[in-house]
C-alpha cells in the first residue's frame, strides 16, 4: 500500500512557476480527482509526482519517501502513469505496447517470459482490448489507444496510479467502463489513484474526493458535495447557476444552459437568414 | 474469453528462423566470397580449407599450398573486415534510428564521418616520416577525429543534465557541415596527394590485412554486445522519453551508453576503410520491413544482414571490373537502393 503526498510543493518549468505551495494526500484505496480549468497545472502535478520535473521547493512523497531519491526503476514499480494522448511508435503492435508495462519488473538481461505475457494478456482482457492485440498502433483509434494505455498501467502492477484525462477520447459507454474498472481496482487492491479529469460529472460520480485547482493553488478540496458547489464553479470556471442535484443518487451534477448567457438563440439566426 | 497469452503475436518463430537462416547465409556468403577472384577456387575446396582452420577439426590437405595462401592471406581478411564493417554500420544505424526515433538517422548523423574524414585528410597531408607509426597514421587520426567530433557535438548539445535529441541532431549537422568544408578546402590544396585522399574518402577494402581485422574486431564486438544488452530499454524508448522514464528507464544514461557504443563501432569501422554510405540507413529499414520493429530482433538481424550485404557488395566491387576496383560506396548504393525500393513498394505499411 502506498500513499501519495505533496507537502508545500511549488512546481513549474524553468523560472515559470505554475503551482505554489501545494499540499495534499491520496491514501491507499482512495480515488481522488484533480479538476480545474485548462492550463491550471493538472498535468504538471502528474509530471512532478512521476519525477519528470523536480519540485522548485517542498517535498513530494511516495509512502513517506522523497520521490527524487527513489530510482526510476523502483518508482516505476510503485507508481504507474497513464499519459494524455501520447505518441506511440506506429510500427509496434498493441500487445507489444502493453507488454512494455512489464519493463520495470525485468532485469537488464531478462526478456519477457510466459509470466509477463500472461499478466499483459489479462490486463488486455480487463480493459476489453484483447481483440486489438495483433493490430499495429497506426491502425487504432484514439479511444482504442486509451484502452491500451490503461491495460499497460494494469500490466505494470503498481501500488499507485496517476491518470491524465483517461477518458478524453472515450464515448460515454467506454468512460463508464474504464472509470468503473479503475475504481474497482482501487478498492480491491488498495491502490492510491489520482486522476486529472476534465469532465466534472464523471469526477463527481467516480471520485471519493476532489481537488479543485485554480490560479496556481488549491481552490477547494473535499468530497464531491463539498467541492462542486455553485459558488466554486462560478468562481473558477465563470459559469453561473449550473450545479444541480443528481436525481437518482443525490450527488451534485453540472448541467449547462446555453440560453442563460451570451449565445444567440437558433430562431434569431433563422430570422436573419 | 481466451486466457492463453498469444506468444505468436510477438512473431518470435519467424524472427528466430530469420536469425538462423541469416547465420547459414552468412557462412555461405563467406565461402562464396573467398572462392571467387582472379584465381577461381572450387567451392568444396574453399569450404574444406576454411573448415580445416576451425578449432578441433583435423583435415588432411588435398589442396595446393598456394590456394591456402590465397584464401587465408588475401581473401579471408578482406571478407572478415567487410563483414565486420557491414555489421558495425548496420547496428549503429539501427541504434541511432531508435535512439533519435528518426527514420532518417544514419551512423554519420552526429559528426562521425566528417570527423573521421578530417582526421584522415590531415594524416595524408603529414610528412611521410609520420606514416610509419603502427598501422599507419591515417586510420589512427581518422579514429581520433571521429571520436573527438562526436564528443564536441555531444558537449555542445547538452542542456544542463539532459541531452535533447533534436539539439544533438542539429549540433551534429552544423559541426558536420563545418568539418566537411574544412575537408574540402584541404583536398583542393592537397596537390598530388589528392588521389590518395579521394580513394580513402570513397572507401575500399582493397588493402585489407589480418592485422586490421584484428584491431577492428574487439571494438565492434564490445559495441555490439553493449547495444544488444540495451535492446529492451530501446524498445521502451520508442514511446517517448517521458513515458520511458515513467516505465523505469534512466533515459539520460541509456542515451549516453548507446551513443558511446554506436559511435565507437562506427569510428572503428570507418577508420580503416573510409566512409561507406547507405549500409547504416538502409539495412535497418530493410530488416524492419521484413521482421518488424522490435529491437531485440532488429539489432541482431541488422548485424547479420549488414555483414552479408557488405561482403557481397565488396565481392562485386573487386570482381565486376577486375582487375580494376569499383569504390564500395558506389556498389552499396547501386545494389541497395533498388532492393530497398522494391521492399518499400511490396510492403506498403508503416515501418517506423
CA distances from A223 to A15, B203, B256 (A): 34, 72, 47
**Contact pairs from chain A to chain B, CB under 8 Å:** 106
Are the C-beta atoms of A253 and A241 separated by less than 8 Å? no
What per-residue confidence (pLDDT) applies to B214?
87
Q: Which residue has the higher pLDDT, B128 or B133?
A: B128
What per-residue confidence (pLDDT) applies to B197?
83
pLDDT category at A111 given cuts 50, 70, 90 is: confident
| A148: chain B residues, CB-CB within 8 Å | none
What per-residue confidence (pLDDT) applies to A264?
58
| B250: chain A residues, CB-CB within 8 Å | 71-73
What per-residue confidence (pLDDT) applies to A259?
60
What per-residue confidence (pLDDT) applies to B72?
82
Strand, coil or helix: A126: helix
The verdict on a CB contact (< 8 Å) between A136 and B349 is yes
Give me the phi and psi of A209, to 5 degrees please.
-140, 155
Name the residue among A88, A90, A111 with its Cβ closest to that of B232: A111
Name the residue among A51, A104, A117 with its Cβ closest to that of B247: A104
What is the secondary structure of B10-24 as a DSSP string?
Answer: GTHHHHHHHHHHHHH
The verdict on a CB contact (< 8 Å) between B243 and A101 is no
The verdict on a CB contact (< 8 Å) between B242 and A52 is yes
Are the C-beta atoms of A182 and A5 separated by less than 8 Å? no
Block residue for cell numbers 510543493: A9
| A79: chain B residues, CB-CB within 8 Å | 246
The verdict on a CB contact (< 8 Å) between A103 and B249 is yes
Q: Does the pLDDT at position A266 exceed 60? A: no
Which of A24-38, B115-129, B229-243 shows the lowest mean pLDDT across its residues? Answer: B115-129
What per-residue confidence (pLDDT) applies to B350?
52
The verdict on a CB contact (< 8 Å) between B7 and A76 is no
| B288: chain A residues, CB-CB within 8 Å | 91
Name the residue among A51, A101, A138 with its Cβ closest to that of B350: A138
pLDDT category at A265 given cuts 50, 70, 90 is: low
What per-residue confidence (pLDDT) applies to B5?
63
Q: Which residue has the higher pLDDT, A209 or A272?
A: A209
Name the residue among B1, B232, B294 with its Cβ closest to that of A130: B1
**Which percentage of chain A shows pLDDT scores above 70?**
94
pLDDT category at B23 given cuts 50, 70, 90 is: very high
CATH number of the domain bearing residue B144: 1.10.3470.10
Min Cα–Cα distance to chain B from A88, Å: 5
CA distances from B78 to B52, B70, B243, B311 (A): 19, 11, 45, 9
The verdict on a CB contact (< 8 Å) between A86 and B5 is no
Min Cα–Cα distance to chain B from A105, Å: 9
Name the residue among A72, A86, A125 with its Cβ closest to that of B248: A72
What per-residue confidence (pLDDT) applies to A238?
86
| B248: chain A residues, CB-CB within 8 Å | 72-77, 103-104
The verdict on a CB contact (< 8 Å) between A86 and B2 is no
The residue of chain A nearest to residue B236, with distances taken between CA atoms, is A100
pLDDT per residue as tens digits for the range A122-157: 999 988 899 998 888 888 988 889 899 999 999 999
The residue of chain A nearest to residue B349, with distances taken between CA atoms, is A91
**Which percentage of chain A shows pLDDT scores above 90?**
60
pLDDT per residue as tens digits for the range B187-207: 888 778 788 788 788 777 877
pLDDT category at A85 given cuts 50, 70, 90 is: confident
Contacts of A221 (CB under 8 A, 6+ apart): A24, A209, A210, A211, A212, A227
Arithmetic mean of pLDDT, B310-319 = 92
Cis before B53 (ω within 30) = no
Residue B350 sits at the chain A interface (C-beta within 8 Å): yes
Residue B6 sits at the chain A interface (C-beta within 8 Å): yes
Cα B118 off chain centre by: 19
Homologous superfamily of the A4-224 domain (CATH): P-loop containing nucleotide triphosphate hydrolases (3.40.50.300)
Q: Which residue has the higher pLDDT, B212 or A149?
A: A149
Cα B331 off chain centre by: 15
Query: For B32, left (φ over 0), alpha (ψ -120 to 50), or beta?
Result: alpha
Which of A19-33, A230-244, B132-146, B233-247 shows the lowest mean pLDDT across its residues? Answer: B132-146
Cα B14 off chain centre by: 24
Across B7-16, B75-84, B132-141, the highest mean pLDDT is recorded for: B75-84
What per-residue confidence (pLDDT) applies to A152?
95
Q: Which residue has the higher pLDDT, A88 or B134?
A: A88
What per-residue confidence (pLDDT) applies to A163?
95
pLDDT per residue as tens digits for the range A182-208: 999 899 999 999 999 989 999 999 999
Across B65-79, B120-134, B169-183, the highest mean pLDDT is recorded for: B169-183
Arithmetic mean of pLDDT, A245-261 = 82
| C-alpha closest to that of B106 among B115, B116, B114, B95 | B95
What per-residue confidence (pLDDT) applies to B246?
94
Min Cα–Cα distance to chain B from A158, Å: 11
* Cell of residue A228, nine digits: 462542486
Residue B284 sits at the chain A interface (C-beta within 8 Å): no
Q: Does the pLDDT at position B322 exceed 80? A: no
What per-residue confidence (pLDDT) applies to A92?
86
B2 domain-assigned: no
Arithmetic mean of pLDDT, B166-170 = 89
B112 domain-assigned: yes
pLDDT category at B135 given cuts 50, 70, 90 is: low
What per-residue confidence (pLDDT) applies to A180?
92
Which of B1, B2, B4, B5 should be substituted to probe chain A, the one whose Cβ sees the most A Cβ atoms within 10 Å?
B5
Q: Which domain holds residue B197?
A: 14-346
Q: Does the pLDDT at position B37 exceed 70? A: yes
CA distance B56 to A58: 67
Q: Does the pLDDT at position B215 exceed 90? A: no
What per-residue confidence (pLDDT) applies to A271?
59
Are the C-beta atoms of A48 and A213 separated by less than 8 Å? no
Average pLDDT in chain B: 85
The angle at the Cα of A66, spanning A64 to A72, to the nearest 5 degrees, equals 115
Are the C-beta atoms of A193 and A26 separated by less than 8 Å? yes
Strand, coil or helix: A193: strand
The angle at the Cα of B291, spanning B288 to B292, to the nearest 5 degrees, equals 55
| C-alpha closest to that of B203 among B80, B120, B96 | B120
Contacts of B98 (CB under 8 A, 6+ apart): B234, B237, B238, B295, B298
B252 domain-assigned: yes
Domain count across chain B: 1
| B233: chain A residues, CB-CB within 8 Å | 103
The verdict on a CB contact (< 8 Å) between B5 and A121 is yes
Amino acid at each position: 500500500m502506498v500513499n501519495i503526498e505533496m507537502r508545500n510543493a511549488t512546481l513549474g518549468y524553468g523560472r515559470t512557476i505554475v503551482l505554489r505551495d501545494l499540499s495534499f494526500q491520496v491514501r491507499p484505496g482512495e480515488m481522488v480527482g484533480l479538476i480545474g480549468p485548462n492550463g491550471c497545472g493538472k498535468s504538471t502535478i502528474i509530471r512532478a509526482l512521476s519525477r519528470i520535473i523536480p519540485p522548485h521547493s517542498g517535498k513530494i512523497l511516495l509512502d513517506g519517501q522523497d520521490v527524487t531519491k527513489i530510482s526510476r526503476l523502483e518508482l516505476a514499480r510503485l507508481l504507474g502513469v497513464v499519459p494524455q494522448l501520447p505518441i506511440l511508435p506506429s510500427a509496434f503492435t498493441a500487445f507489444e505496447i502493453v507488454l512494455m508495462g512489464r519493463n520495470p519488473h525485468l532485469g537488464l538481461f531478462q526478456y519477457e517470459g510466459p509470466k509477463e505475457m500472461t499478466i499483459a494478456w489479462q490486463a488486455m482482457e480487463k480493459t476489453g482490448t484483447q481483440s486489438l492485440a495483433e493490430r499495429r498502433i497506426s491502425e487504432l483509434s484514439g479511444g482504442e489507444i486509451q484502452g491500451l494505455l490503461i491495460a499497460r498501467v494494469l500490466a505494470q502492477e503498481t501500488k499507485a496510479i496517476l491518470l491524465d484525462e483517461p477518458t478524453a477520447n472515450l464515448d460515454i459507454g467506454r468512460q463508464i467502463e474504464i472509470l468503473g474498472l479503475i475504481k474497482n481496482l482501487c478498492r480491491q487492491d488498495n491502490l492510491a489513484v489520482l486522476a486529472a479529469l476534465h469532465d466534472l460529472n464523471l469526477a463527481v460520480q467516480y471520485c471519493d474526493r476532489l481537488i479543485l485547482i485554480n490560479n496556481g493553488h488549491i481552490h477547494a478540496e473535499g468530497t464531491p458535495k463539498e467541492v462542486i458547489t455553485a459558488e466554486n464553479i462560478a468562481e473558477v470556471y465563470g459559469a453561473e447557476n449550473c450545479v444541480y442535484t443528481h436525481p437518482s443518487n443525490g450527488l451534485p451534477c453540472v448541467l449547462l444552459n446555453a440560453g442563460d448567457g451570451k449565445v444567440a438563440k437558433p430562431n434569431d439566426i433563422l430570422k436573419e437568414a | 474469453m481466451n486466457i492463453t497469452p498469444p506468444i505468436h503475436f510477438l512473431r518470435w518463430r519467424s524472427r528466430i528462423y530469420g536469425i538462423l537462416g541469416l547465420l547459414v547465409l552468412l557462412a555461405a556468403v563467406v565461402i562464396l566470397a573467398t572462392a571467387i577472384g582472379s584465381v577461381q577456387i572450387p567451392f568444396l575446396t574453399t569450404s574444406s580449407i576454411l573448415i580445416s582452420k576451425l578449432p578441433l577439426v583435423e583435415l588432411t590437405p588435398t589442396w595446393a599450398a598456394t590456394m591456402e595462401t590465397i584464401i587465408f592471406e588475401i581473401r579471408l581478411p578482406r571478407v572478415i573486415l567487410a563483414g565486420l564493417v557491414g555489421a558495425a554500420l548496420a547496428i549503429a544505424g539501427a541504434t541511432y534510428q531508435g535512439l533519435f526515433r528518426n527514420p532518417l538517422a544514419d551512423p554519420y548523423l552526429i559528426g562521425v564521418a566528417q570527423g573521421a574524414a578530417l582526421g584522415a585528410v590531415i594524416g595524408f597531408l603529414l610528412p611521410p616520416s609520420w606514416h610509419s607509426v603502427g598501422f599507419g597514421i591515417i586510420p589512427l587520426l581518422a579514429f581520433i577525429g571521429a571520436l573527438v567530433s562526436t564528443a564536441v557535438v555531444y558537449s555542445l548539445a547538452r542542456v544542463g543534465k539532459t541531452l535533447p535529441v533534436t539539439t544533438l541532431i542539429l549540433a551534429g549537422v552544423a559541426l558536420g557541415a563545418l568539418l566537411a568544408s574544412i575537408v574540402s578546402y584541404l583536398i583542393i590544396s592537397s596537390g598530388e596527394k589528392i588521389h590518395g585522399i579521394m580513394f580513402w574518402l570513397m572507401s575500399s577494402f582493397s588493402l585489407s590485412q589480418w592485422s586490421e581485422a584484428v584491431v577492428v574486431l574487439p571494438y565492434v564486438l564490445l559495441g555490439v554486445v553493449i547495444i544488444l544488452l540495451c535492446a529492451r530499454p530501446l524498445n521502451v524508448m520508442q514511446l517517448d522519453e517521458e513515458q520511458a522514464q515513467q516505465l523505469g528507464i534512466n533515459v539520460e544514461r541509456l542515451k549516453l551508453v548507446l551513443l558511446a557504443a554506436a559511435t565507437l563501432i562506427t569510428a572503428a569501422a570507418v577508420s580503416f576503410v573510409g566512409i561507406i554510405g547507405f549500409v547504416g540507413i538502409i539495412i535497418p529499414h530493410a530488416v524492419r520491413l521484413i521482421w518488424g520493429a522490435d529491437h531485440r530482433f532488429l539489432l541482431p538481424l541488422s548485424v547479420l544482414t549488414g555483414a552479408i550485404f557488405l561482403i557481397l557488395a565488396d565481392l562485386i566491387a573487386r570482381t565486376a571490373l577486375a582487375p580494376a576496383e569499383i569504390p564500395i560506396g558506389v556498389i552499396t548504393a547501386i545494389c541497395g537502393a533498388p532492393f530497398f525500393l522494391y521492399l518499400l513498394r511490396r510492403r506498403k505499411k508503416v515501418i517506423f
